[in-house]
Amino acid sequence: MGYHLYCVVPAGHAPSGDLRGLSGAEVTDIRVGDLAVWCSASEARIVPDLRRIRVHDGVIRKATTATVTPLPFRFGQWFPDREALGRELQARLDGYRQALDRVAGAVEFGVRLEALRERSAEGASRGSSEAPHGTGAGAAYLRALADRGAERDARLQHGGAVLAELNLRLEGRVVQVRVDRTPGRGSVASAAYLVRCVETGRFREAVEGFADGHVAFEFHLTGPWPPYSFT
Amino acid sequence: METTPIELEGPLGDVALVELVNRVLDRGVVISGEVVISVAGVDLLYLNLGLLLSSVETLRRQTEPRGEGA
Give pLDDT, residue A190. 92
* Residue among A27, A56, A75 with most chain B CBs within 10 A, to mutate: A75
Taking the CA of residue B12 and the nearest CA in chain A, the distance in Å comes to 9
Among B9, B17, B18, whose Cβ lies nearest the Cβ of A225?
B9
Lowest average pLDDT, out of A25-29, A49-53, A55-59, A128-132, goes to A128-132
Burial class (CB in 10 A: 0-12, 13-18, 19+), A191: buried
Give pLDDT, residue A30. 95
d(CA A112, CA A162): 11
pTM of this structure: 0.76
pLDDT digits (tens, 9 = 90+) for B42-53: 444 433 344 455
3-state secondary structure of B29: strand
CB contact under 8 Å between A66 and B6, yes or no, is yes
Please report, to the nearest 10 degrees, the dihedral formed by the alpha carbons of residues A151, A155, A156, A160 taken in order. 160
Taking the CA of residue B17 and the nearest CA in chain A, the distance in Å comes to 9
pLDDT at residue B11 greater than cutoff 60: no
pLDDT at residue A26 greater than cutoff 90: yes
3-state secondary structure of A138: helix
User: 185-214 in A: which are within 8 Å (CB) of B?
Assistant: 197
Give pLDDT, residue A101. 94
Give pLDDT, residue A123. 47
3-state secondary structure of A180: coil
Predicted confidence band of residue A157 (pLDDT cuts 50, 70, 90): confident
Lowest average pLDDT, out of A129-138, B4-13, B56-65, goes to B4-13
